[in-house]
Each structure stands twice: as C-alpha cells, then as structure tokens.
A and B are shown apart, each in its own frame.
Chain A
C-alpha cells in the first residue's frame, strides 16, 4: 500500500514551453501533497505544499506564477512549469501524506526535467 506515482518519469522540452507533471496517490487519499526539487548532488528542497481544494503554499523564493500547482482531487496533484528555461532542469519529486496521525510521507519516483 501507500503507492505514489508520477508521470512522466522524464521529459525533455524546449526553452519557453510549459511542462505538466502529475502526481497520483494510487491506493489512498491524500489531503496534502508536497512538491520537491532536487538538483544533482544536492538534497531535496521543498517547493510547495498542496492541499486538496485550496491554493498551494509556496516556500520562500519559489515563484508561484512559474510553478503552478493544482490539487483538484484527493488523489491527484499537478505541477506545471511554465515558460521553462534550462535552469529549471532538475529532478522533481512529489510526496503525499497518508495519515495525519502518523505523519508519514510517501514519495513518487520523481520526474527528470531537461530544458534545452
């Protein structure tokens, strides 16, 4: 149980285009999902927290107009990187919180974004 999927697993796009990444909790409902970014040889950095049915909460320094997050259902959150540039190339990882009482997060396998 507690499986989180991401789609696509990797994507290559041209500079200036937008890319959408999906995060799904397959066997549980997630009221809260999180989006992280990880550059090579670095740790995960939280970008935003997504609560179902409400606006996402962005971490300091993360542009909300560039990284659009939608959490329309209890099993799906999407991250859209708008007008992507080479510096946005990174490993994007989502996670979902299954049970508030245990506070455990389950992570997706990640999406490798390369912007040419």
Chain B
C-alpha cells in the first residue's frame, strides 16, 4: 500500500472546525482513501472513505485534492469526544484480504 504522511498532533477548540491533513503523493489511481479514528483504550472506528470526489457523512467530510495527492478530513464542529488518533490509510483494490496498514496517525486534542 502507498504511504501517507500526517502531522503527529493537532489541537483544536471545542465547537470549532478541524481540518486534518494527509499527504499521499504516491497514491495510485485505484487507491481509496480511508479515515479511521481511535479513541483512548478503544478499537479504531471507521470515519469516512473516498476515491476522487469529496464525501460527506454524519461524522465528517472528506475533501480530496484534484490530483489526489492529498486529502483533508474535516470535522465541522469539534467536540471533546472527537479527541482521538486519526489515521489516514490508502487501500488499493485487488487481492482477497483487503488489509489496512496503520501509520502513526494524528493525535487530535480538543480544548474545552
């Protein structure tokens, strides 16, 4: 799987928007961009994924650059419960196992 680069940590204030960046300059045309987050002492939680177009769901929005070499996860109004490690992962198609390779992610701190 192609590699992603994320900032080690970010800080936000409660009820403000948060933009979490991810660089993936070696992305291939068939790689999907997945975001998961992990709250302390819990298993990861699926957030959102996309291929080329921007995506929205109840949790977040995913903005994908036109050249697909970067993407941004947007939390529209951060809450204290959004404090977690956010992982940006590329997943290609093909193969039967669909493995996810987790990097170090971004530790998001939300200040009250």
Residue pair B100, A105 in contact (C-beta under 8 Å): yes
Residue pair A32, B97 in contact (C-beta under 8 Å): yes
Residue pair B99, A34 in contact (C-beta under 8 Å): yes
> Which residues of chain B are within 8 angstroms of A45 by Cβ–Cβ distance?
102
Residue pair B46, A44 in contact (C-beta under 8 Å): no
A89 at the interface (CB under 8 A from B): no
Stretch at the interface among A62-70, A74-82, A107-115: A107-115
Contact-residue size bin, chain A (C-beta under 8 Å from the other chain):
20 to 34
Interface centre among B36, B38, B41, B43 (most CB of A within 10 A): B43
Tell which of A46, A100, A110 touches B43, judged by Cβ atoms closer than 8 Å.
A110
- What number of A-B contacts does a CB cutoff of 8 Å give? 60
B68 at the interface (CB under 8 A from A): no
A106 at the interface (CB under 8 A from B): yes
Residue pair A46, B99 in contact (C-beta under 8 Å): yes
A84 at the interface (CB under 8 A from B): no
Interface centre among A36, A44, A107 (most CB of B within 10 A): A44
Residue pair A107, B45 in contact (C-beta under 8 Å): yes
Q: Closest chain B residue to A110 by CB distance? A: B43
Residue pair B103, A43 in contact (C-beta under 8 Å): yes
On whether A93 and B44 interact (CB within 8 A), knowing A43-B103, A104-B49, the answer reads: yes
Spell out A's residues near B (CB within 8 Å). Answer: 4, 6, 32, 34, 36, 43-46, 49, 51, 57, 91, 93-95, 97, 100, 102-110, 112
- Some 28 contacts from A to B, beta carbons below 8 A apart, are A4-B43, A32-B96, A32-B97, A34-B100, A36-B102, A43-B102, A43-B104, A44-B38, A44-B44, A46-B101, A49-B97, A49-B99, A51-B96, A57-B97, A93-B43, A95-B44, A100-B98, A103-B34, A103-B49, A105-B46, A105-B100, A107-B44, A107-B45, A107-B46, A109-B43, A110-B42, A110-B43, A112-B41
